[in-house]
Every structure is written in structure tokens, then in C-alpha cells.
Amino acid sequence: MYYDLIRDAEALKEQLIKTRREFHRHAELGWTEMWTSCLIARRLNDMGFDQVLTGRSVCKSQARMGLPSKEELNAAYQRAQSEGADPDFLSDMKDGFTGVIGILNCGEGPTVALRFDIDALPIQETYDPNHLPNQEGFRSIHNGIMHACGHDGHITTGLGTAELLVKYRSQLHGTVKLIFQPSEEGVRGAKSIVENGHLDGVDYVLAAHIGGTPDTKISAIGTGTGLSLATVKMDVAYTGKASHAALSPHLGKNAMLAAATAVLNLYAIPRHGEGDTRINVGKLTAGSARNIVCDHAKLELEVRGSTSESNDYMEAYAQRILEHSGAMHDCSCEITLMGAARCGTNSAKLTALVADICRHKLGLSQVTLEDGAAGSEDYSYMSEHVQKHGGQSCYFSNITHCAGSFHNEHFDFNEDALINGVKAFTGIVLYLLENTTKPSF
Amino acid sequence: MYYDLIRDAEALKEQLIKTRREFHRHAELGWTEMWTSCLIARRLNDMGFDQVLTGRSVCKSQARMGLPSKEELNAAYQRAQSEGADPDFLSDMKDGFTGVIGILNCGEGPTVALRFDIDALPIQETYDPNHLPNQEGFRSIHNGIMHACGHDGHITTGLGTAELLVKYRSQLHGTVKLIFQPSEEGVRGAKSIVENGHLDGVDYVLAAHIGGTPDTKISAIGTGTGLSLATVKMDVAYTGKASHAALSPHLGKNAMLAAATAVLNLYAIPRHGEGDTRINVGKLTAGSARNIVCDHAKLELEVRGSTSESNDYMEAYAQRILEHSGAMHDCSCEITLMGAARCGTNSAKLTALVADICRHKLGLSQVTLEDGAAGSEDYSYMSEHVQKHGGQSCYFSNITHCAGSFHNEHFDFNEDALINGVKAFTGIVLYLLENTTKPSF
Amino acid sequence: MYYDLIRDAEALKEQLIKTRREFHRHAELGWTEMWTSCLIARRLNDMGFDQVLTGRSVCKSQARMGLPSKEELNAAYQRAQSEGADPDFLSDMKDGFTGVIGILNCGEGPTVALRFDIDALPIQETYDPNHLPNQEGFRSIHNGIMHACGHDGHITTGLGTAELLVKYRSQLHGTVKLIFQPSEEGVRGAKSIVENGHLDGVDYVLAAHIGGTPDTKISAIGTGTGLSLATVKMDVAYTGKASHAALSPHLGKNAMLAAATAVLNLYAIPRHGEGDTRINVGKLTAGSARNIVCDHAKLELEVRGSTSESNDYMEAYAQRILEHSGAMHDCSCEITLMGAARCGTNSAKLTALVADICRHKLGLSQVTLEDGAAGSEDYSYMSEHVQKHGGQSCYFSNITHCAGSFHNEHFDFNEDALINGVKAFTGIVLYLLENTTKPSF
Amino acid sequence: MYYDLIRDAEALKEQLIKTRREFHRHAELGWTEMWTSCLIARRLNDMGFDQVLTGRSVCKSQARMGLPSKEELNAAYQRAQSEGADPDFLSDMKDGFTGVIGILNCGEGPTVALRFDIDALPIQETYDPNHLPNQEGFRSIHNGIMHACGHDGHITTGLGTAELLVKYRSQLHGTVKLIFQPSEEGVRGAKSIVENGHLDGVDYVLAAHIGGTPDTKISAIGTGTGLSLATVKMDVAYTGKASHAALSPHLGKNAMLAAATAVLNLYAIPRHGEGDTRINVGKLTAGSARNIVCDHAKLELEVRGSTSESNDYMEAYAQRILEHSGAMHDCSCEITLMGAARCGTNSAKLTALVADICRHKLGLSQVTLEDGAAGSEDYSYMSEHVQKHGGQSCYFSNITHCAGSFHNEHFDFNEDALINGVKAFTGIVLYLLENTTKPSF
């Protein structure tokens, strides 16, 4: 069975590369992946998926974080339309309801969910002639937006996996959910999918990220503890009152002082004794002119924690600081939640199984990743939900040679990773749903 | 008439000096001037004042600010008793009810109030053999307490004035109130006298302070605008929670951070466009040990303003900062009012009159003081009250050669000032109450 | 003689209004008043001034503060050229050498300098149809730039005065200097004129500002103490190092912390006991993205003082704070001087004379202005220089009905002020230079 | 052989308890353990140790941290003398040269060093009649000083071990060093012993701490990773200049502002991406009076790191903050190093061996301790030195029932721990030095 899979996956190579490049050309930011979602939905539909969810069925409206403005959403809609987004699906996506879920019902058995993230980054892609997308003509056609984190590869892997699973559906016993999640950048989208109930009853959930550097020589599946940091992203707006700085400073309400007090105290939140924490105020703009008391300030910040407790501690403390720093200077304070993730961790058994399948059944190179988490992933909302209800999760790395570094204008990856990803995901699902008595590990 | 006064005042010299030295020996801090108050009351009584108010009749209990602890008040009581304080009055003073008011009812006519402050300072008097109190054997017998601001002279001037006014009472038409006010240092006492109604119906209120430096060669009465800064004194206590700084910093509530945030923001209160302001955090003690999260902090601070508005602005802003700095770090914040004064300013007409009487009727040197206020005086509660109700106020300077500087362990003043003070106060009252048709200025 | 002057000034009315509107249409920001300067130079030249200084002769290159970027200067040059700026003068103004000085040598006698400021503000003029410039078609043709402070009127007054002084030159005994100063907004230009020596040997220097509100009903010359606050304007750039906020916050150099520390401490500079002070950080921009350690921050700030000492104190203290706040967080700190003014104060005798001439010789209404300074004027560099060398200065107010408030998009003034200004300046010069034995006040 | 040891150790019970109580009664603070050191030296001497080092031979003078004042050292000396400290040794200890090292030379073979800390804490021992020292009459005779951390037990264990090792010396092949270290509290002493070369050439170094809570029911030897945090303790003194807060705040140099800026920025030191860090300002005293600009401030603080790199990062950053916070407000800043420790970690092999010997050879209960370091130990200077030179280290826990908690006035421990400690230390040394071919683990 795995021999067929290996052969079938390799046969998809040309098609996968073509698909990936199409997505790369149409890079779209979080909550505006409309052209992208339409194409995914079209393909899943055409393959014969039992259910293809789009629009409001995918993400719970109120749980979406860091939504662009109405104007930006409308502009994205116009753009998708003008670029020929499939009219059967496009209207569903109005107002930022992107993302697609494909479901394959294969009778009795466990439910396996696979998550693929689909959004791009606000990065201007390089014009460097050595950059493959320039050589091969698939540079992003959207100015200032680029798939610089490999999500174009993730989508493509998901569609390749979809195709093979449809092909092998008679061998599957259970349910498969392919979740094409919007807005992973800024950890904004996963929560709204979980809150719509899509992870309820899921026994196994998996996701992968392309990994590698310009020095990476191997192509391999990497597995490890899957630790990721919990995080909360906030935008904060202080509103005070302007006044002439020489004539009547006492009539102002000084948002500059509120912001400076907040910044210093935020970094000064005492360390947590039982979890590593982070705080960063990455951006601050305040005031209008030298001789006017500053009447507005805007901060963009994030907290993180290596445990959910330490992250919650940071969030609650930060909120207290933000509010009282404003109130102290008689300024109002508006805090907007812009993104969030939970602590992620792999289930040991499923992770061992993934390593085993990749190495022994699929003939893929397999490496063990070192401990230690530094980044955050909103996939953690999915894994936490599944694990809390007795299920298992594994987040693994699809390692290959990469050009540039992640989130860099030169980023690119070896397209062999597409095949490896399809092999791994399809192989794991096959194993888990081969028959209902398994897995006996 | 003024000739008699000049002669009579000079005849009191020996007695005034003796009296002053007695008070100097028994220097007592604010709200513990029990020995002092007993002696004042005894003397006024013996002179034949119509009313001699002591105890709770003088200061309104709840309006007294910066009261010492019960223990300190009890200790002061014991001490006064052991030093032979007059038993006819001492019991009235239990629990810090010091101060004396003597009233002379001389028929129809205006009411003139004179204020003399009676408390000493927490300063260890020098052992320098050149210091007059050491030479003449009247160094303070109370360790660490000293009349280093001349209030011993003020009391003495008040008693000398009392004696002459009793002598001339047949020439007076109206009412005289001699207010011996406790707790002027730290501006803690005047408000409680005003709130007991003692300034109601007062037409003229006056007070004086001994002034001068080691370089002062003249003895003179100085008059000017009488400007003094409004002020509020506060003690602030933050209470947090201790915790081990390495094991569980997150379980602490860090009063050190609350205090540091408060200090920086207090000084950063924006300037007032229509009044000069001041802020000072003069003392801060926080925490117990290096490796324990600080659970308590105490600040001693004051704000000032050259107008009542700017002082109120500082007080309200400071309170906001203090409370929110605590709340931000989950610490409770207790603010105790320790003293307060209003903006003082002389009534121009009365001031001109004082200058005129001193120079032309009493033959005293008279100088005009420069503009500009820097200090604060709680006499301002009295002057503000009287002026608001249509009366007039004058605060003048009894200038003479002084040794050391004010609030210094070497401070002393030329005792000639006692005679000049008696002349000035008595002369002014005589003029104002000579007959009811006056003053016609 | 003054009758002729009154009549001649009134005869200029039409021409002055036309001139003013021309300048209003071509509003130019500080150091880019190229079209404006060319027209002034042309006119002075044509009138027959003995010397007309332009370009590098006017402002000392290195002493110019708050210069726009090279690109902005070049763009302004192109614009002036395209709008027909006089080619005889334009090339002098390349690189921001604007401003014009006209000199009339009338033999032996004192030197009188008059200063007129010529720059506009970065304000978008209103499209309100009730706004006179819209009704009469002289709205600024430069988008986002507007004469909203009346300097168009000041220039026009200067040119009207020039015309009459040329006419009466036979009656003048001494030297007249008309200084058309660039970059008064932001107090950037005056210092560079003084440093080029143009105020050396000046006996009398005068300037005026249009004043008034929508409630002003009179047209009058206002005189007073002429107090203005000393000030220093600074731009501050902190440069740190970016780093990933979760992976390696310790590898960053956090310019956000430097900026926040600076802001709090700047406002917290202790008050000055002998002068009123001001501090304002009006604008702050810092950082690039939420999850990146902030590597750059820019502050725009100003300090002020009611005395030169208190302003110097603020400047020195601010610099210390700025540098050490950066160094503390291992960030470099670059401080750029953007503008400065000294304390201004009128010479009492010249001010009395101005009042007297306006009221009694020129028949203008004259009012006395209240005490108290709040704003700053870089004319103070001129007055300070002249006064230090034994000369006299007077800064007066040309009061008239104004629409909108100063620095507002609706600002406009009653053009009668143009005539009054010409009368006042011309009359004062006439009086001062009528013959060399005067003034005998 | 181990049977003899078990029996001999148990036979010492009475004597050990008596010895422990003697030390408990004479609790002495760090660098003043003079009575204590004299008794240790006397005993080692009497047992026949080959070398007994005292005084300047033990701790390197300049490397001693957090030394008390001269006055305190002299008073401690007088006290030790008055309490009958052995005159043969006392004079060596003048000026704070406490601590004792006993050496047993047993021919060829490895060198084993055992470290026992000997100082007490500034804690007032409870008068609670249920407290064993009160019941049995060995409450500390030194007011405010108490062995509340079990070091009295550590010394006693060391002396019991010494006695047995002398007894078994014929079976030992190598060298034994018993290091009785002063000033462990505040991590002040170990460095000065290492710098005197006493750990040079040591192959195995071991130490133990009594551990347990009121809930502990077992007596056992606990072994684990032995992780401890690196730390640096600093005292900081800011010196500014006093001034009257209302008259001349600008003439002051405000140490309060320096201290507040330092505190906020210290806590705000960015987290380290590769090590857990700590910062605590545990104590702050600043200023003298409400209306005086604060001219001095003193901070007591500590930083910690779970790696030496992160601790060094914290120390360097803290110093930068401290210095620039002072300089910003024109205050001088003096930083005094008060204590320091390195990161400690056990050598895996030796630790496994200790567990094995205790469990299988000595019949002691043995438990494995959980991961995670929170405290700091200056034993780390010894372990780091030995490990760097190829040797091994193990720090283990001597677990037993304890009353109260550590550093609490009710602290006490089950004296059975004394026997267990003697068994463990003696057994380990016996094993390591039994013959030179071992250990073959």
C-alpha cells in the first residue's frame, strides 16, 4: 500500500509545482485569502470531497482576530474578483470569511484532521534575478505581499494529500478533515475555527511547517516535542487631549506620558518563576507636533509564555499596566486583541508513530529536533482542544534546502518538499485509518 | 498713646527674654506643645483675659493633620506632667489638643486676630559653646527637639502683646483674639482652628515671622506682598505581597515597582500654564531584603502651587498617579494628608497701614520686602478665610540679626526682636481698635 | 510730516492688498521662501534701495536650524522656478538661502533695523467658501502650505514701509535696515542673521506681529513688556538593534526602552526655582513590527524657560537625560538642534516712545498689553544682541479683527492692518532718524 | 566496611546532637563566625588532622564579599572572646577571617573535598514554647541571630564525618579536605576559598543541604541535577545634592529620580532568549525630609541567571542602567559587590554513584529530586572550578522532617539527619578513596 503511495505522490510532482507557483503568484494577506480560498474550494469540490465548507461555516465571525479594515476587505474582494476568483465561492468570502475545510467521510473509525495554513506576509518580494520566482516567472503579482513563509507550499501539500486520499478512500475507515486555515501570521485564525466546533470529536490532528536554511543539504521529516509559546498580541490606543505646550500644558491630557509609563512597566513585569516569559512593544507612534501636548498614542505589543499560566499572567499584568498608565494621566485606553496562541506540545505516542511511519514505511529521512520553543503557532488552539478531549496531536517539520531565511524577501524552498509533505500526510492518515482496530501503539 | 506703648514695651525686656528662654528650654513638637500651652494658658488667665480657650475648643479634632501616634502623644503627656505642666490645663491637652486662644472683649468695634505659632522642630540643638542657649543655659532639655525657627520668640511676643493690650483695654473698642497655634511646622494646625470657627467674623488678622541672617545688621519690620505657596503634604503607603525573588517573583505584588512608577510620574506632572508649581518626594523607604519581592513602600511628598488652582491641580494629579501606580502592580495604596496650606497674600491697604504705623507711630525701622513667594505658611488658611469674608490680612516680617540659618542647629535670634514684635502688634491693634470710626484709609 | 505719512500710507491701500494676496497665494515653508524672497528683492531693488542682500549674505549657513532635506530644498527650487520666480535672484537661494535685507544709507545718524518674517505653515488651507482667500481667489496654490500666521501681512507691511521710507529719505539721518527673515516658525532663522553680523551696530530694532481674534473689534497698536520665552527645539534619534522578540530579545538593543525612559525623565526634570519652565515631547515614533525588538526611535521635543538661565538649565538637563537614556540601553543617540529662541523683553523707553508716536503723532489707537509671556519668538536673538550692545528693542502688536485663530486653517486678518503697520513702522523710523540729536526721551 | 561505618555513625548520635545544639546556641552571622570557627578548629586539631587551616589561609582577603563594617567585626571579636572562644585560634579571625579547612593526607590517590557552610541568619528566633531549642534550652543566645537554615547541622555533620574518617584513615588512599566555609548566606564566602587555591587539584567535591518541610515524613538522601542559578548581589549608593524643594529645586541633584529610574529600568531589562533570568531590588531607602531634594539613595539588589551567560548579561546590563540613571540626574553612583555565585550543576556519574552508595551500601532511603533550579549557592564556585579541571561535583539533599520553613523563626530539623549526613559523606569518601584504581563507574 505504501509503495503505491510513494509512486503516486512522486507522479504528482509536475502538478504540485505548478499549483504551488500559482498560489505564490497570488499571495494574499490574512483574512483576504479570497482568490486562494476559491481555488482550494474549487479543487476539493472537483476531487469529490463529501463536504467543502467555505465562508462563515469555517471561522466563527466574532472569534476572528486582527481583522483588516472594511476598506481593505472590500479592496481585497475587488481584487480577487478582477483576478478571476471562482464566482461559485467568492461571494462567501466577503467581509473576510476566508479558509476552506474539506471533509471525506469513510465510514466508522477515528477522525483525523490535517491543518494547512494559507496566508502570505506584508513583504515586498525581491527583484533579485537569482530568485527562483523571478527566473520562473511566478513572482507575486501583489505589490508588497509575498509568500515568504512557505504557506504556498503548505496549501499545495494539502491539495496533493487530498487528491491521494480521495484515490485511496476505499482503504480508509473513519473521517478525514483537511483544514485550510486563514491568518496564521499574527496567530489570528485558528481560534475561530476551533470555536466553530471543527475540532470537536477529532482523534488525531496534525500539521507541518516547511523548515530549513541555505545550509540545509538534506530533505527530511523532523519530529520533536513540538513546543511552542503561548502568546497574546494587542494593539493599544491612548486618547488624551491636545493643548498648547507652552501656554496651557495643564489643560492637556498627555498620552505620551501614558505610553512611556506603559512601556517601561510592561518590560518590568516581574519574571514568572515557573515559566519563561516574553514581552515586546514593537511599535509606538504618538503625538502630532513638537509644541502640542500629545493627545494620542498607539502601541503594538505582544506577550508570550512557555506555559499557559505564565502567558495568562503576562496578559493580565499587561492589561492592568495599560489601563492604569492611561488612567493615571486621565487618558482613555482601548485595547484590541490582535492575535493569540496557546502553548503547543506534541503527543509523545503520535509523534513516535509519525517518525516511525516516515522512516520505515515511507522511506523518508527522519531526524529528531532539539528541545526548546521560541516561536508561537495558533495551531496550538487545535492541538490543545484535541488533547484536552483525549485526542493526540503532532506538529512536525518538513525539512529541505531553503533560500533566504523565513520572512525574508529572498525566501524560497526546494519544491521536493511538496512531494515529501504529501507522502508524510497521506501515509500517516492511511496508517491511522487503515482499519479501526489500529493504532495499537 | 504710642509713646506710652513704646516705653511700656521696652520695660518688658527682661521679662520677655526670661519667658522666651523658658519656652526655648521646653521645645515641643507639633501637637505635643503641652507644657508650652499650659504656660500660655496660665499667663493669659492670670492677666485677666475674658476667655482662655484650651483643649478641644481650639482645634477641630478631625481637621488636625499629621498627628503623631497615640504612643507619642501619651509620652508627651507624661513628659509635660513630669516637667510640672500646669495641672489646671494639662488634662485638656491629652490626645494632642494643644494650642490656646485668649479673647479680650472690649465692646463694640471690629475684631482683630493675631496669630502666634508655638511648635518646635525635630532638630538636635548644637553643643557649640558659642551658641547663646548654651552660654546662657537655656539649651533645649528635650533631646532632638529645638526651637530652630523662632517660634519661642513668637509665643513670647504674643504674651508681651497680651500684657500690654490688657493694660490698654479701656482704649480699645472691639474684640482681640490672640491665637497661639500649634503645629505650624509641616503646615498641620491652622486649618483645624479655622474649621472650629475662630476666624469667623474677624475683620483683621495678622501674623509675623522673625526674619534675618547672620549678615543682617538692622532690626526692622518688613512688609510686602505676603505671597506664600499653597501646598499639600502627603504620606503614601503601598502594600503589596512578599515572595521569594528567585523562586516565585510572580507570586509577589511588587511595591517597589509601584513606588518607582509613582516617583517618576509625580515629577513628570506637566507644568501648569498659569501658576508656578512644585513637587518633591523627599523620602522613600521600601522593602526588607535583597532577595524578597518588596511588599511595602512609604513615600513622603509634597506639592505646591503659586495659585490655589495650580496647587489643586498638582494635588489631584498626584493622587491619580499614586493610586494608579499602586493598582497597576496590584498593590493597595493609602494616602494620608499630613499638612496643607493655601496661597497667602496680604491685603494691600492693611499692609500699607502696618508699614505706616510701624514707621511713623512706633518709630521702628521699616523695609519693603521683595516680591516672590517660595515658602508655605498655614496662616494662609486664616488669611484666606478672613479675606473671603471681606476682612483684611497682613503677614509681616520681624527682621533682626540671626545666628545660623532657619531650621539649623545653630539658629538663634537677637532678642531685641521680642520688643519690636510687641510694639508692632500692640500698636497695630491700638490703631485698629482706637475708635470705631477708623480706619479711614 | 506725519500728516503726509498718514495720507501716503492710506494711498497705498489697494497696492498693499494686492501684494499681500500675491504672497498669500505663494505660501512657502521655512528655508524654501524662494519665490517670496525673489519678489521682495525685486521690489526693494526697483525702489532704489542702496543695498539688497540675498542668498548667503543674509543667513550664516551653519547657523540655520531645522533645515529641510536636500530633496525638499531642490523641489522647492524647481517649484519657484516653475512659478516664475525672478531669475535675477533665484539662483542665490539654492540650498535654502532665503531671506532678504534691504539697506538705505541716509548719512550720519543711528541705525534702525526692522524685522519682517516671511514663512508660512504646513497647514492645509480651508475650502470653506466663507474664507476670504476663497472668495477673492487667493487661496494658497501650494497644497498643505498656508500663511496661517499673518506673515504674508508682515512682508507686505515691510514693503509698504520700504516704499515710504525711500520717498522720505531726504528727511532721514542715519541707516535703515529692513530684514525680511526666513524660518520664524519653529524659531529657526533669526540666529543665523545675527551671526552674520547684521545686528551689529544697530541702535534700534523693532518688529511687530498681527494680533487679534474673531471678537476683536478695534484696530490698534498694542505695546507691553514684550516678554517671550526662551526655547530650544530638538529632534532626537535613538538607534539600537533589531532582534526577534521571542527567540533572542537579549541580542537586541531596545530603542523603545531608551525612548520611554527619556520621555518620563524629561517631563520629570525638576522645576526651576527662579524661572518658569516648559518641556514637551510632542511626537514619538518607534519600532517597526510587534515581534521585533525596536531598533529606532525618533522624538521631537522642546524646552522653554521664562529666563535664559532656566531655559539653559532645561536644555542641559534634557541633553543629559537623552544621552544617558540611550547609553543605558546601549543605543546611540543623535540630537539635532531644530530651533531656538532667547528670552525677549522690550526696552521700556523705546516702547513708551512707540506708544506715544502711534497715539499722538499717527493718530492710531493704542492699547497696553497685559504682562506674561507664553510663546517664543526668535526675534529675541536680535533684541538680545542689540540690547546687550546698548541699543533698544521693541516688539509690538498690530491688532485687528482676525478670522479663525492663529495656526488654524480658517485664519485670516482684516487688511486694514497693512496700512496701520506701514504707518507705525514708517512713523517710528521717521521720528528716530529725523535728526541726529533725537531722541531726547 | 560499610557495616562498621553504619554502626559507628549511629554510635555518635548523642555527641552529634550535643555538638549541634552548642553551635545553634552560638549562632553567628557571615564573616563573624569566630566562636564557631574556633570550636571547629579545636576539634579537628584534637582529632589529629594533618593540617588545620584558619584565618587568612582560608579565605583570600580581597575576594571576600559583603564584609560587615570594621565596628561590627570588632564587636563580633569581643563577643567571641567574652564567650570563651578558643584563644589558640581566635586571634587569626580578627577582621573577619573566619572558616576552617581540615586536611587528611592518606597517601597516593585522588583528592576529595567536602564543603560544610557554617553561618547563621539575621533572624530573631521564636519564643514559641513548642520550638525544640526553647524546650531543650539551646535557643540562640545572640539576639536577632539564628541558625534558621540548618548550617548548625551542616557543621556537625562535617565534624562527625571528620571523626570517622580519622578512624578509617588507614583504609583511605588519597587526600581529604573538609572545608568549613563562612558566609554562605548572601553567597559571599566560597569565591574567596577558591581564589586561595583550595580547590586546585581536587578530583571530587561534594556538599549537602538539609531539606524538608513540616509535611516530610521520610529521612532520605535526595539526588538530582543539582542545578542552581548564577547570581550577583550589589549594593548601590547614589549621592546627589540636597536643596530646598520649593525655593531652589534646580540647585539639587535628585537621587530619588536616579533611584526610581534605575528601579524601573532594572526590572525592564529584556528577557534572555537562552536562559531564565531574575532581577530584584529588594530594598531602597532614599532621602531625609519631605521638603528637601533627596541627596542620597541606597538600593540592595540581585540578578540571577540559569546560565552563566544570562547572569553575566543581567549583571552587565544592570551596571549600565545603574550608572546612567545616576549620571542622567548628575548623581554619583557607587556599586559594591555584595555576593556572587555561579551556575551549579551536578556531574552525572558522581551523582549516580552517590545515589548508589547511599541506597545500596549505606542502606539509606534515596529519592530522585525533580529538575529545576531556583536558588543560588556559592558552592557553585567550587563545583565549577573542579569540573573545569576535569573533576566531578555532587550537591545532594539530606532530607528529613523540618519544623517551620527555611529562613523562618520557627525552623528546626529532625536531628536524625545528623547521622544520615555522617553516613553519606563518610561512605562516599570511603568508596572514592578505598583504593586508587576506583572508581570504575
Q: Say if residue B436's pLDDT is above 60.
A: no
Our CA-based measurement puts residue B56 at a distance from the nearest CA of chain A, in whole angstroms, of 39
**Nearest-by-CA chain C residue for D260:** C265
SS3 of residue A197 by DSSP: coil
Band the pLDDT of D405: cuts 50, 70, 90: confident
Interface test with chain B among C231, C261, C274, C276, by most B beta carbons within 10 Å: C276
Query: Which residues from A are below 8 Å from B242, CB to CB?
Result: none
CA-to-CA dists, residue D288 to B29, B204, B281, D256, angstroms: 18, 38, 10, 11
Q: Is the pLDDT of residue C441 over 70?
A: no
Nearest beta carbon to residue D268 from set A264, A276, A278? A264
A277 to chain D: closest CA residue: D271
Residues B350, B355, B358, B364: what is their CA dihedral angle, to the nearest 10 degrees? Answer: 160
Give the model's pLDDT for residue D115.
Answer: 98
Q: Which of A238, A244, A250 to mutate to test the interface with B (most CBs of B within 10 A)?
A: A250
For residue range D45-93, what is the model confidence (pLDDT) as tens digits? 999 999 999 999 999 999 999 999 999 999 999 999 999 999 999 999 9
Q: What is the pLDDT of residue A217?
A: 93
CB–CB contact A291 C284 (8 Å): no
Label residues A180-207 b or e (16+ Cβ within 10 Å = b).
bbbbbbbbbbbbbbbbbebbeebbbbbb
Contacts of C376 in chain A (CB under 8 A): 246
User: pLDDT grade, residue B374 (50/70/90)?
Assistant: low
For B22, B412, D132, the CA distances from B137, given in Å and listed in that order, are: 10, 14, 57
pLDDT, tens digit, 9 for 90 and up, residues B309-363 = 999 999 999 999 999 999 999 999 999 999 999 999 999 999 999 999 999 999 9
> Are C286 and A287 a contacting pair at CB < 8 A?
no
What architecture (CATH level 2) is domain C230-341?
Answer: 2-Layer Sandwich (3.30)
Give me the mean pLDDT over the D327-352 stretch: 97
Predicted local confidence at residue D373, as pLDDT: 59
| Residue B223 Cα, gap to closest chain D Cα (Å) | 20
| Average confidence (pLDDT) over C267-280 | 96
CB contact under 8 A, C273 and D327: no
pLDDT digits 0-9 by tens, C181-190: 999 999 999 9
Once rounded to an integer, what is the mean pLDDT over residues B398-417? 94
The overall average pLDDT reported for chain A is: 95
Chain A residues lying within 8 Å of C233, measured CB to CB: 290
Instruction: Say how many C-beta atoms besides its own lie within 10 A of residue C437's C-beta.
Output: 8
Rounded to 5°, angle at Cα D100 from D94 and D102? 145
Cell of D358: 547511599
Residues of chain A neighbouring B251 (CB-CB closer than 8 A) = 273
Cell reading at D349: 556519574
Q: How high is the pLDDT of residue C85?
A: 97
Provide the β-strand partners of residue A180: A100, A116
Chains sharing 3 or more CB pairs under 8 A with chain D: A, B, C
Mean pLDDT, range D401-424, rounded to an integer: 95
Question: A339 vs chain C: nearest CA distance in angstroms?
Answer: 11
CA distance B63 to B196: 9
pLDDT interval class at D374 (50, 70, 90)? low
B271 interaction partners in chain C (CB closer than 8 Å): 271, 276-279
pLDDT of residue D440: 45
Banded pLDDT at A418 (limits 50, 70, 90): very high
Identify which of A263, A243, A265, A264 has the alpha carbon closest to the alpha carbon of residue A253.
A243
* CATH top-level class of A230-340: alpha beta
What local confidence, expressed as pLDDT, does residue C372 receive? 63
- Please state which CATH number belongs to domain C2-227+344-433: 3.40.630.10
Could you give the count of Cα atoms lying within 13 Å of A243 in the half-sphere of its Cβ? 21
Mean pLDDT computed over B355-374? 88
Angle at alpha carbon of residue A250, lines to A245 and A256, rounded to 5°? 60
| C41 sits in which H/E element | helix C34-47
ipTM for the predicted complex comes to 0.89
pLDDT at residue C1, rounded to an integer = 78
Q: Helix count (H) and strand count (E) of chain A?
A: 13, 14
Class of domain B2-228+344-433: alpha beta
Binding partners of C (≥3 Cβ pairs within 8 A): A, B, D
> Inter-chain contact B282–D300, Cβ cutoff 8 Å?
no
* Closest in C283, C293, C374 to A287, CB measured: C283
Identify the pLDDT of residue B70.
96
Whether the Cβ atoms of residue B89 and residue B42 lie closer than 8 Å to each other: yes
- Cβ pair B270:A249 closer than 8 A: yes
Count Cβ–Cβ pairs < 8 Å, chain B vs chain C: 29
| Structure confidence by residue, pLDDT tens digits, A26-44 | 999 999 999 999 999 999 9
Q: How many angstroms separate the CA of residue B138 from the nearest CA in chain C?
A: 37
Domain pair B2-228+344-433 / B230-341, same fold: no
Task: Using an 8 Å CB-CB cutoff, list chain D residues near A264.
Answer: 264-265, 268
Per-residue pLDDT tens over the stretch C41-81 = 999 999 999 999 999 999 999 999 999 999 999 999 999 99
Residue of D264, D266, D277 lying closest to A271 (CB–CB): D277
Q: Is the CB of A265 less than 8 angstroms away from the CB of D265?
A: no
pLDDT in tens, B171-221: 999 999 999 999 999 999 999 999 999 999 999 999 999 999 999 999 999
**pLDDT value at D176 more than 80:** yes
Which residue of chain B is at minimal alpha-carbon distance from D246? B374
Give per-residue pLDDT as tens, D6-17.
999 999 999 999
Choose the closest CB to A277 out of D264, D267, D271.
D271
Burial classification of residue C247, based on how many CB atoms lie within 10 Å of its CB (0-12 exposed, 13-18 middle, 19 or more buried): middle
Q: Do C310 and D250 touch (CB under 8 A)?
A: yes
Mean pLDDT value across residues A410-419: 96
Distance, in angstroms, between C268 CA and closest chain B CA? 4
Q: Hey, are the CB atoms on C256 and A247 less than 8 Å from each other?
A: no
Which residues from chain B sit within 8 angstroms of residue C271, using beta carbons? 271, 276-279
Which residues does chain D have within 8 Å of residue A374's beta carbon, measured at their own beta carbons?
Answer: 273
CA distance D256 to chain C (A): 11
Chain A residues bordering chain B (beta-carbon distance below 8 Å): 244, 246-252, 254, 257, 261, 264-265, 268, 270-274, 293, 310, 313, 320-321, 324-325, 327-330
Contact A85, A38 (CB under 8 A): yes
Q: What is the DSSP letter of C126?
A: P
Percent of chain C scoring above 90 in pLDDT? 94
> Which of the four pLDDT bands, split at 50, 70 and 90, describes residue B404?
confident
**Segment A156-215, tens digit of pLDDT:** 999 999 999 999 999 999 999 999 999 999 999 999 999 999 999 999 999 999 999 999
Positive or negative: CA dihedral C195, C198, C199, C201: positive
Closest CA of chain D from C440, distance in Å: 42
* Residue D372 pLDDT: 63
Strand partners, B232: B303, B340
Which residues in C lie closer than 8 A to residue A283 (C-beta atoms)?
A: 286-290, 294
Q: What is the pLDDT of residue C277?
A: 96
Confidence at residue A439, expressed as pLDDT on a 0 to 100 scale: 47
> Residue ranges of the domains in chain A?
2-227+344-433, 230-340
Whole-angstrom Cα distance, residue B386 to residue B194?
10
Nearest-Cα distance to chain A for C222, in Å, is 20
Q: How confident is the model at residue B439 (pLDDT cuts 50, 70, 90)?
A: very low
Q: Do B276 and C278 touch (CB under 8 A)?
A: no
Question: Measured between CA atoms, how close is B372 to chain A, in angstroms?
Answer: 21
Give the single-character DSSP code of D357.
I
Q: Do D374 and A273 touch (CB under 8 A)?
A: yes
What pLDDT is recorded for position A435?
66
pLDDT confidence bin for A440, thresholds 50/70/90: very low
Identify the weakest region by mean pLDDT among A364-373, B283-292, C426-435, D381-390. Answer: A364-373
What value does the mean pLDDT take over residues A397-402? 96
Is residue A437 over pLDDT 60? no
Describe the crossing of helices C2-11 and C151-167 by its angle, rounded to 10 degrees.
130
Average pLDDT over residues C168-185: 97
Residue in C252, C265, C272 nearest the CB of D270: C252
- Whether residue D439 is predicted with pLDDT greater than 90 in this model: the reply is no
**Under an 8 A CB cutoff, do C320 and D330 touch?**
yes
Count of C-beta atoms within a 10 Å radius of residue A389: 12
User: Given an 8 Å threshold on Cβ–Cβ distance, is D271 in contact with A278?
Assistant: yes
